[in-house]
Amino acid sequence: MMAIGENAKPALAAGCRWGGSKEQPVLLFPEGAIKVQATGLAILQLCDGQRSFSEIVSELQERYPEAPAKRIREESANFLEQLNAKRIVNL
């Protein structure tokens, strides 16, 4: 079951920001860093605190029409919930 609401407006939490290089962006947060891969990057770039989760999912579905819509929704939710548990993303 997804814990993230359709109207949640995910954003990077305070004190979490981008570092590294353009070729290899790194998400920096207290006591850690994650090398974000292409799909994760696509999701996080939409998490601006303005777009709702359902808007983010629609945009991703438009961008990746070949991927099953349900899978995009589930994977985005999983990814954001994991980052939320680590206090990297606010939902």
Candidate residues 39, 58, 61, 84; the one interacting with other proteins per rule CB under 8 A: 84
Q: What are phi and psi of 44, to 5 degrees?
A: -65, -30
> Is residue 80 part of the contact set for other proteins (CB under 8 A)?
no
Candidate residues 26, 45, 54, 78; the one interacting with other proteins per rule CB under 8 A: 26
Instruction: Count Cβ atoms below 10 Å from residue 49 Cβ, excluding itself.
Output: 9
Instruction: Count Cβ atoms below 10 Å from residue 25 Cβ, excluding itself.
Output: 18
CB of 17 to other proteins, least distance (A): 7
Cα angle 65-38-64, degrees, rounded to a multiple of 5: 5
Q: In this structure, what token pair is assigned to residue 67?
A: 């991927």
> Is residue 69 part of the contact set for other proteins (CB under 8 A)?
no
Question: Which residues contact other proteins (rule: CB under 8 A)?
Answer: 3, 13-17, 19-20, 26, 28-31, 33, 84-87, 91
